[in-house]
């Protein structure tokens, strides 16, 4: 049923789309936006062999995998002077002294620090308008509801969703993916169907699919990696061609290698085969402009705590047509329209998926965090991180015996740098860096299959965000060199 | 701040004593630290008086886990199983010296956990010994 509608809808819109697309990209986008998710250009219906390259109007001169984000609201990526010293003043935790040295926090890929605006808003919520949302008819409940829904709207604007109703509040990326696996997956994936993943996925984008595959008798198929940490496109095409693929699920930015995957191109290709696509955007939405309509992804998941927001709040974006078809994930209060003894009916999305009292303070805090990163401008954040990454690559590359994993060219990656120094174990490295007040991550970074592919048991990972500066990179290098001296590399 | 990575630790890491395996161990055990991916395996050969005649460890991982395993083998050699059973956390930590954070404590005590697992398997484990192992 769904399939027929999908085919019919894509036919009707695609004719319109392709006739204008070549000449006028804007009108193509507009046509597509009327029915989000249903438009697949006609020239992309499966023929004998799908083209590998993409029409010019899709490319827009972008760097590998970067979203173009033409339509998003201007304030999100206004280009302006980036004053990192001023940004640092917004983060109270940076005043901490660790082992006699100022904290150099280089673990933002795990979780970011919080600006004062977010911390203050959480306090203000509990001090002034703490109440349950959507239920009370009294003043503070109305205030809380307004703030909660405003946060949803801010997130919709940030990622350019068609409507705030496509934004579901969840605990984090992990819950978002589990929601898709259990709600959409259990109704759409069956015996013998395939799910395509990549070898660079975080455990949170592997294990939910293993669970689903076991429940339904489906297969998991992996896209391999090149030695410099890019996806092997041929693997992807082969899996699609082998048929029976229901879903492609991949990360936008690798949390270990920093690779920015060309998700936009992969999504287009997957759609030619009628597959749905989930993008794990935990490492991309906080760091660069991401436009879900431009990507045309079916699902997109990210966490609040990796973008200056509180922990325990995250977002699942899904196209409205999908949300309407999907059964609820959790049952309980708030998600129902009517409850009888033996059956119930559901509210419309997004409420259908928000059972029980949600993390109200978290959502409001995340709304403030979105204000904060939007205020800095995601283009600016991306440029700032790019500068730091290039600087760090340049300096780390000169340390004797040091190996950086992932893309060789720092211009093609995000601000995540995984490395090992000689035979120094990552945990020893991280302990030595901690002695100098530098916080980095060490271990398998919840990506054991990737570690296996790299042939290492663990790596040390430094990751940057809005508040990091070159001084901190200098301190990192100095401390890494000290570790090298201690271990006599 | 003085580093935990003393010359001694690094020496044991680079040139581990008693690393390898034994042909006929009466006691052997293996465990991993999922956090770091450290692996430690211990093998003990006993004589008729239940004294540790020979001991070897094998494994891979961080300097702390491997050095502590190597140091521990030297400590147990020549001891009776009963004495081995009495080796405490503090004994191992004093071998290593220096201050460890809670997370790195797991690395330091992995070898002791493996050793005790093996010993308790040999002499029979009780609820109390299980409790002790889970506390390591």
**In 3-state terms, chain A is what percent helix, strand and coil (to 5)?**
45, 15, 40
The reported pLDDT for the residue numbered A48 is 53
Class of domain A64-72+126-373 as given by CATH: alpha beta
Say if the Cβ atoms of A435 and B3 lie within 8 Å.
yes
Q: Map residue B40 onto helix, strand or coil.
A: strand
Domain housing B70: 7-122
CATH code for the domain of B104:
3.90.1010.10
| CA–CA distance, A466 with A381 (Å, rounded to integer) | 6
In chain A, whose CA is at the least distance from the CA of B35? A443
Q: What percent of chain A has pLDDT over 90?
A: 81
pLDDT digits (tens, 9 = 90+) for B3-50: 788 889 999 999 999 999 999 999 999 998 877 778 999 999 999 999
pLDDT digits (tens, 9 = 90+) for A379-390: 999 999 999 999
| CA–CA distance, B27 with B21 (Å, rounded to integer) | 12
The reported pLDDT for the residue numbered A380 is 96
Out of A99, A443, A486, name the one closest to residue B36 (CB). A443
The reported pLDDT for the residue numbered B124 is 85
**Averaged confidence pLDDT in chain A:** 88
The reported pLDDT for the residue numbered A80 is 63
Say if the Cβ atoms of B5 and A428 lie within 8 Å.
yes
In chain B, whose CA is at the least distance from the CA of A432? B3
| CA–CA distance, B11 with A405 (Å, rounded to integer) | 28
> Residues in chain B, how many?
136
Give catalytic status of residue A275 as yes or no. no
- Contact of A276 with A298, CB cutoff 8 Å: yes
The reported pLDDT for the residue numbered B38 is 86
- Contact of A322 with A350, CB cutoff 8 Å: no
Residues on chain A bordering chain B, Cβ-to-Cβ distance under 8 angstroms:
99-100, 424-428, 431-432, 434-435, 442-444, 451, 457-458, 486-488
Question: Angle at CA A189, nearest 5°, toward A184 and A195?
Answer: 100
Query: How do the domains of chain A map onto residue ranges?
Result: 9-45, 64-72+126-373, 84-114+376-486
Say if the Cβ atoms of A425 and B101 lie within 8 Å.
no
pLDDT grade, residue A489 (50/70/90)?
Answer: confident
Is B135 among the domain residues? no
Is B11 among the domain residues? yes
Asked if the model's pLDDT at residue A297 lies above 60, the reply is yes
Best of A97, A424, A431 to disrupt the B interface (most B CBs within 10 Å) is A431
Q: The domain A84-114+376-486 is classified under which CATH number: 3.40.50.300, 2.30.30.90, 3.90.1150.10, 1.10.10.60? A: 3.90.1150.10
Q: How far is A140 from chain B (nearest CA, A)?
A: 43
Q: Let me know if A23 is exposed, middle or buried by CB neighbors in 10 A (0-12, 13-18, 19+).
A: exposed
DSSP letters for A38-91: T---GGGS--SS--SS--HHHHTT--TT-----SS-GGGG------HHHHHHT-
**Distance of CA A382 to CAs A49, A67, A387, A413, A467, Å?**
36, 12, 9, 10, 12
Out of B37, B63, B101, name the one closest to residue A428 (CB). B63
Domain count, chain B: 1
């Amino acid at each position: 049923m769904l399939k027929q509608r999908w085919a019919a809808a894509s036919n009707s819109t695609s004719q319109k789309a392709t006739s204008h697309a070549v000449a006028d990209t804007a009108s193509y986008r507009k046509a597509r936006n009327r029915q989000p998710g249903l438009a697949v250009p006609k020239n992309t219906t499966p023929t004998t062999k799908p083209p590998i390259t993409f029409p010019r109007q899709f490319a827009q001169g972008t760097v590998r995998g970067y979203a173009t984000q033409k339509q998003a609201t201007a304030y999100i990526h206004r280009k302006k002077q980036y004053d990192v010293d001023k940004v640092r003043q917004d983060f109270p935790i940076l005043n901490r002294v660790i082992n006699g040295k100022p904290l150099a926090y280089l673990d933002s890929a795990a979780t970011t620090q919080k600006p004062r605006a977010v911390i203050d808003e959480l306090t203000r919520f509990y001090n002034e308008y703490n109440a349950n949302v959507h239920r009370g008819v009294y003043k503070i409940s109305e205030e809380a509801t307004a703030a909660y829904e405003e946060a949803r709207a801010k997130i919709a604007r940030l990622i350019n969703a068609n409507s705030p109703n496509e934004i579901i509040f969840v605990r984090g990326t992990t819950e978002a993916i589990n929601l898709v696996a259990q709600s959409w997956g259990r109704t759409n994936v069956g015996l013998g169907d395939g799910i395509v993943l990549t070898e660079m996925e975080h455990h949170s984008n592997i294990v939910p699919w293993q669970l689903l595959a076991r429940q339904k008798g489906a297969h998991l198929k992996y896209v391999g990696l090149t030695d410099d940490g890019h996806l092997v496109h041929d693997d992807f095409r082969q899996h699609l061609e082998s048929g029976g693929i229901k879903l492609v699920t991949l990360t936008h930015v690798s949390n270990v290698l920093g690779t920015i995957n060309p998700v936009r191109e992969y999504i287009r290709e997957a759609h030619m085969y009628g597959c749905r696509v989930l993008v794990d955007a935990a490492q991309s939405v906080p760091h660069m402009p991401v436009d879900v309509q431009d990507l045309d992804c079916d699902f997109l998941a990210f966490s609040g705590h990796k973008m200056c927001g509180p922990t325990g709040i995250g977002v699942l974006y899904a196209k409205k047509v999908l949300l309407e078809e999907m059964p609820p994930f959790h049952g309980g209060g708030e998600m129902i329209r009517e409850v009888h003894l033996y059956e119930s009916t559901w509210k419309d999305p997004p409420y259908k998926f928000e059972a029980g009292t949600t993390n109200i303070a978290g959502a409001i805090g995340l709304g403030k965090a979105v204000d904060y990163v939007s205020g800095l401008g995601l283009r600016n954040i991306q440029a700032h991180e790019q500068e730091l990454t290039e600087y760090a690559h340049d300096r780390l590359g000169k340390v004797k015996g040091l190996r950086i994993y992932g893309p060789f060219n720092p211009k093609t990656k995000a601000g995540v740098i995984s490395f090992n120094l000689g035979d120094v174990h990552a945990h020893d490295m991280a302990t030595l860096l901690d002695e100098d007040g530098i916080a980095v991550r060490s271990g398998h970074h919840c990506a054991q299959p990737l570690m296996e592919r790299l042939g290492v048991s663990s790596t040390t990972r430094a990751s940057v965000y809005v508040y990091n500066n070159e001084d901190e990179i200098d301190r990192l290098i100095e401390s890494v060199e000290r570790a090298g001296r201690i271990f006599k590399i | 701040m003085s580093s935990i990575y003393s010359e001694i630790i690094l020496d044991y890491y680079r040139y581990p004593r008693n690393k390898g395996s034994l042909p006929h161990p009466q006691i052997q055990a293996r465990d991993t630290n999922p956090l770091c991916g450290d692996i430690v395996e211990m093998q003990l050969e006993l004589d008729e008086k239940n004294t540790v005649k020979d001991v070897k460890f094998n494994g891979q991982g961080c300097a702390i886990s491997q050095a502590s395993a190597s140091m521990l083998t030297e400590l147990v050699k020549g001891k009776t199983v009963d004495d081995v059973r009495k080796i405490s956390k503090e004994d191992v930590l004093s071998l290593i010296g220096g201050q460890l954070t809670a997370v790195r404590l797991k690395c330091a005590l992995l070898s002791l956990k493996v050793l005790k697992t093996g010993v308790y398997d040999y002499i029979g484990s009780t609820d109390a010994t299980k409790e002790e192992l889970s506390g390591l």
